[in-house]
Amino acid sequence: MQYALLIYAEPGYLETSSDEERAAAYAEYFAMADDDRYVSAAQLQAAEMATCVRLSGGRTLTTDGPFADTKEVLGGFCLIEAADLDGALELAARVPALRFGGTVEVRPVVRL
């Protein structure tokens, strides 16, 4: 089964880390990509770069970025294959953002 690992963290969390911490975190992200259960992943640009699309009264409205009154924002995702939730949670626990106060939401993917 496929799972999405949605990575939430404080914006710029790696930029405030030491060079050694940042290098170690990137190495761990790249190591995850070598795992056979890894399908794909991407880092997202800052929330300020986002555009939201809504429908209101039959009209399409666009606004800059999401309104998020929170310290954590969606910063990236990994798509993985795992036999079950326990396997997905094991991979999620390896995401370096967790050590910097982040959160990883694990959600099963529905294939259409």
The answer to whether 6 touches 105, Cβ cutoff 8 Å, is: yes
pLDDT for position 55: 95
Please state the CATH superfamily assignment of the domain spanning residues 2-108 in this structure.
Dimeric alpha+beta barrel (3.30.70.1060)
C-alpha span between 6 and 73 (Å, rounded): 10
pLDDT for position 53: 93
Show me where the domains of the chain are located: 2-108
Tell me what the mean pLDDT of segment 16-33 comes to: 91
- Angle at the Cα of 45 (from 30 to 5), degrees rounded to 5? 50
Structure tokens at 25: 């975190």
pLDDT over 80 (residue 100): yes
Q: What is the pTM of this model?
A: 0.87
2-16, 18-32, 80-94: which has the highest mean pLDDT? Answer: 80-94
Instruction: Please report, for residues 34, 50, 51, 53, 62, the alpha-carbon distance to residue 59 in angstroms, rounded to integers and kept in the order given.
Output: 45, 20, 16, 10, 10
